[in-house]
Amino acid sequence: MKLKVCGMKYQDNIDQVAALRPDYLGFIFYEKSTRYFNADSPQVPNTIKKTGVFVDADLDVVTNNVKTHQLQAIQLHGKESPEYCEQLYRSKFDSTSHPIEIIKVFSIKDDFNFEVLKPYEAVCDYFLFDTKGKLPGGNGYTFDWNVLNNYPSTKPFFLSGGIGLEEIEKLQSFMTSKASKYCYAIDVNSKFEIEPGLKNIELLKQFKKSCHF
């Protein structure tokens, strides 16, 4: 199981989190977010995939940030169409020296129509399921993971939305359920923050140890 820590903002804190060796670090390129990343290109070990989070951004904005910050994954957190995703997916940024992973986000509350996934199957590498709330992400509470018992795809997915230390037992139970068969990674953010964009290292250590990442 992979671990993604999202909403990184400050280089000193990035260094501390990177020392815990998560598989992905997320940087939010959405100006309305309190975790908006607007600094020099983050320095991250090569073993960790730098992930840019975008919300209905112009394709040029995504492309420029990929090149400027040497991103290795793109997380699309808005209402991006399959056609939009295809343009990114097919290009794969040939001018870069590494493949770019495309992660398409879908928000869930009490239920979900999995039919909406079909047009995206061929134009992204992963799905990410987050909690439907007022904000595009970082709302701080979980959705009903039992909804994923009806997941009809074999596309690997990230599980996100309000996951913290209080969810460890629930998460362990989920990982033994049918719903987790194609769960590729756990994505954490707001439950591990001192303030938006600043992560609590001790809490992350506890979580990583408890969940055996």
The model's pLDDT over 2-12, given as tens digits with 9 standing for 90+, comes to 999 999 999 99
Read off φ and ψ for residue 146, nearest 5 degrees.
-60, -20
Cα gap 133→49, rounded to integer Å: 27
Task: Name 86's Cβ contacts closer than 8 Å, sequence gap at least 6.
Answer: 122, 123
The model's pTM: 0.94
Which tokens sit at 98? Answer: 């590494």
Query: Quick one: average pLDDT of 82-111?
Result: 83
Which tokens sit at 111? Answer: 């239920």
Write the single-letter amino acid at 137: G
Task: Name 140's Cβ contacts closer than 8 Å, sequence gap at least 6.
Answer: 162, 190, 191
Please write the tens of the pLDDT for every residue from 34-84: 999 999 999 999 999 999 999 999 999 999 999 999 999 999 999 999 999
Which tokens sit at 170? Answer: 């629930």
**In 3-state terms, what secondary structure has residue 161?**
coil
Cα gap 152→209, rounded to integer Å: 31
Domain of residue 84, residue span: 2-211
Mean pLDDT of the chain: 92
Cα gap 93→109, rounded to integer Å: 34
Please write the tens of the pLDDT for every residue from 167-185: 999 999 999 999 999 999 9
Q: What is the CATH number of the domain that holds 132?
A: 3.20.20.70
Number of domain units in the chain: 1
The answer to whether residue 98 scores a pLDDT higher than 70 is: no
